[in-house]
Amino acid sequence: MNAAAPHTSRGLALILEHCARLNSVEHARPPAVIRLQQAIGDELARLLLTALAGDHGARPRFS
């Protein structure tokens, strides 16, 4: 079982390093909506987000 200890401590060190990077200001990314607008344009992003955020619990219009 001694062989597992180095892997565990290395794994914990990597997790801590990744968590520290997530909190780093230099690695901050713009919000997803901004990245989407930059990728496909404002109008298409608005249409896509409106369609995705629609009322999915509503009854179908066609019976």
pLDDT at 29: 80
pLDDT at 43: 97
Q: What is the reported pTM?
A: 0.48
pLDDT at 23: 74
pLDDT at 40: 97
Q: Which amino acid is at 4?
A: A
Neighbouring residues of 21: CB distance < 8 A, sequence distance ≥ 6: 27
Nearest CA among 30, 58, 34 for reference residue 46: 34
Q: Read off the pLDDT of residues 4-59 as tens digits, 9 standing for 90 and up.
A: 555 678 899 999 988 888 777 666 788 999 999 999 999 999 999 999 998 766 66
User: Are 18 and 2 in contact, with CB atoms under 8 Å apart?
Assistant: no
pLDDT at 14: 92
